[in-house]
Chain A
Amino acid sequence: MKTGSSKSLVTIKGTKDGLTILLDDQCSFDDLKSELKEKMTRDQHLFGNGPEVVVNVDGGYRYFNKDQEEDIRMIIEDTKTIRVGSFHSEVMSREDVKKELEESSLTTMKQIIRSGQVISVKGDVLLLGDVNPGGVIEATGNIYVLGTLKGIARAGIDGYQKAVVSASVMTPKQISIADVYFYAPERHEREENADEPLFDEPVYAYIHEEQQEVAFEKARYFHRYPSIRRTS
């Protein structure tokens, strides 16, 4: 009769990406925690007292909810010199999958967004139509307007700074990307004809990393923009 398994529930492995802590995905969560705790205390010397070590955690086919993930992190990071880099599990909740799908999806709409209308989209949005002055289009991801943007566009509304706003005719009142704002000059402040669009060719707006302000670039140079897809 054996009490407890001889196979260890927690394995520390060196991989090409650095140290990975593999967690057994069949045992009870409590057993896992207590073994992890034990191991971390025992093997503390392995990680040394030197500079901080970043480890990856691989939970296999076990689902970790937020609290459980936090528990694991706490146990590991209790060892002062270790920080958890990534937390990986092969299993996701339906809710998270749904969210991720939404975030990475492209919604296509065919309408004119008129004054007073606010269209809010999860993920990216492609608008086949105009945004009139007083209308608002917003998305957690990128915004592409195949038409004239005369109103307001808000991209990356959850704080995603790499989002872009692109328009065939770019003449917005306001653009915001995450929490960075661009205000177009008022009609009376414009030197040229205020009825002309702000840009005379298709452009996209993005956050200029150093200046932390909204900048514009010709749409034909879109391929130079590092990433227009959100990766989770």
Chain B
Amino acid sequence: MGEAIVITSGKGGVGKTTTSANIGTALALQGKHVCLIDTDIGLRNLDVVMGLENRIIYDLVDAAEGRCRVEQALIRDKRFECLHLLPAAQTEDKSALTSEQMKAIVEELKPEYDYIFIDCPAGIEQGFKNAIAGADQAIVVTTPDTSSVRDADRIVGLLEQEKIGSPKLIVNRVRTKLAQEGDVLDVDDIVQLLAIDLLGIILDDENVLKAAHQGQPIVMDPDSHASIGYRNIARRILGESVPLMALEEKKGFFAKLKSMFGLKSSS
């Protein structure tokens, strides 16, 4: 029986979709059976980032409404046979789906996969409610800017109300130099403020943009900073204890985070 993990943030543009695509792909690279569900109905993107947009015929709403079987709506990634995508509908809006329908679909898929990642839309309305409806766990993505962290805090509150596990944090687009100079929030500040476990950080990396343009998740390029970040996160999800990378420049910080990871166990 697989685990359903929602990837959410509140704020838009912080990297939920990129995170979903890359963690999913990283776990598929490890041979895990992974299903990605795009719940951003009307503004779907996960198919584009994954490079799996051309073969879409049916989508999440078709499956929910019974216009097709869930299995018919799944797009199989030709690069890894264990990676599937359930795309969102593009021609409808968030109200086209109910939480109950979403829950039913996730329940139906769970036995078939090791991990199901649910890519959540921005906002806290119906789309968010649908995305978390079937989830067992949550990953909150934020960037090191104040508004994004505020929204993440709001989301953590909502997740706690819904009694969804203890959410894990990913800090995306970290710029070491700016943080060192104290010009932006550093990861430590964010972790303290949100008071949830840090699952990993992703360094700001222009290769992410390039990869998205090609429809090839960045984790498939083994050398980029972002790729290593995502691979590490995948390993932590699998229960390995992996130290945080590349922030050694800042004294004391590494050690602090390391101790956090020492405690962390992946659900």
Say how far A72's CB is from chain B's closest CB, in angstroms: 38
Cβ A173 vs Cβ B91 within 8 A: no
**Which A201-231 residues have C-beta < 8 A from chain B?**
none
| Interface residue A129 (Cβ < 8 Å from any Cβ of B) | no
B214 touches A173 (CB 8 A): no
Q: Among B44, B52, B57, which residue has its beta carbon within 8 angstroms of that of A186? A: B52
Nearest CB in chain B: distance from A160 CB, A: 19
Per-residue B-contact encoding for A134-173, CB less than 8 Å = 1, 0 else:
1010000000000000000000000000000000000001
Instruction: Give B28 Cβ to nearest chain A Cβ, in Å.
Output: 15
Decide if A186 touches B54 in the complex (CB within 8 Å). Answer: yes
Residue in A134, A136, A174, A194 whose CB lies within 8 Å of B214: A194
**Contact assessment for B214 and A187 in the assembled complex, using a CB-CB cutoff below 8 Å:** yes
B215 contacts A186, CB within 8 Å?
Answer: yes
Q: Does A41 contact B (CB under 8 A)?
A: no
Q: Return B76 CB to nearest CB of chain A, in Å.
A: 12
Given the complex of chains A and B, what is the CA–CA distance between A181 and B91 in angstroms?
A: 20
Contacts A188-B215, A188-B216 hold; do A183 and B91 have CB atoms under 8 A apart? no
Q: How many A-B residue pairs have CB under 8 A?
A: 39
From B78, which residue of chain A is reached at the shortest CB distance? A189
Task: Give the shortest distance, in Å, between A80 (CB) and chain B (any CB).
Answer: 43
Range of interface residues on chain B?
10 to 19
Q: Does A49 contact B (CB under 8 A)?
A: no
Report the minimum CB–CB distance from B94 to chain A (whole Å): 13
Choice from A116, A185, A189 contacting B90 with Cβ under 8 Å: A116
B51→A186 contact, CB < 8 A: yes
Known contacts A173-B54, A174-B54: A187-B91 contact under CB 8 Å:
no
- Cβ contacts under 8 Å, B51 to chain A: 186-189
Residue pair A115, B90 in contact (C-beta under 8 Å): yes
Instruction: Decide yes or no whether A53 CB sits under 8 A from chain B.
Output: no
Q: How far is the CB of B87 from chain A (nearest CB, A)?
A: 11
For residue B55, CB closer than 8 A to chain A, the reply is: yes
Is there a chain B Cβ closer than 8 Å to A84's Cβ? Answer: no
Give chain A residues whose Cβ lies under 8 Å from the Cβ of B213: 187
| B62 interfacial contact with A, CB 8 Å | no
The distance in angstroms between the C-alpha atoms of A200 and B214, with both chains bound, is: 20
Q: A134-B90, A186-B215, A188-B215 are in contact. Are A116 and B52 (CB under 8 A)?
A: no
CA distance A117 to B92 in the complex (A): 9
CB pair B91–A116 under 8 Å, yes or no, is: yes
Judge whether B136 is part of the interface by a CB distance below 8 angstroms.
no
B205 at the interface (CB under 8 A from A): no
Contacts of B216 in A (CB 8 A): 187-188
In the bound complex, how far is the Cα of B54 from the Cα of A185, in angstroms?
7
Contact of A183 among B42, B44, B54 (CB under 8 A): B54
When the two chains form their complex, are residues A116 and B42 in contact, meaning their CB atoms are under 8 A apart?
Answer: yes
What is the CB-to-nearest-CB distance from B213 to chain A, in angstroms, rounded to a whole number? 8
For B215, give its contact among A136, A181, A187 (CB under 8 Å).
A187
- Is the CB of B107 closer than 8 A to any CB of chain A? no
Question: Are B215 and A133 touching (Cβ within 8 A)?
Answer: no
- For residue A97, give the distance in angstroms from its CB to the closest CB of chain B: 32
Tell me which residues from 183 to 201 in chain A have a Cβ below 8 Å from any Cβ of chain B.
183-189, 194
Judge whether B53 is part of the interface by a CB distance below 8 angstroms: yes
The answer to whether the Cβ of A118 comes within 8 Å of any Cβ in the partner chain is yes
Extra contacts besides A136-B91, A174-B54, A188-B215 (15): CB < 8 Å: A116-B42, A116-B90, A174-B56, A181-B57, A183-B54, A183-B55, A186-B51, A186-B53, A186-B54, A187-B213, A188-B51, A188-B214, A188-B216, A189-B78, A194-B215
Please give the residue numbers on chain A whose beta carbons come within 8 Å of chain B beta carbons, in ascending order.
115-118, 133-134, 136, 173-174, 181, 183-189, 194
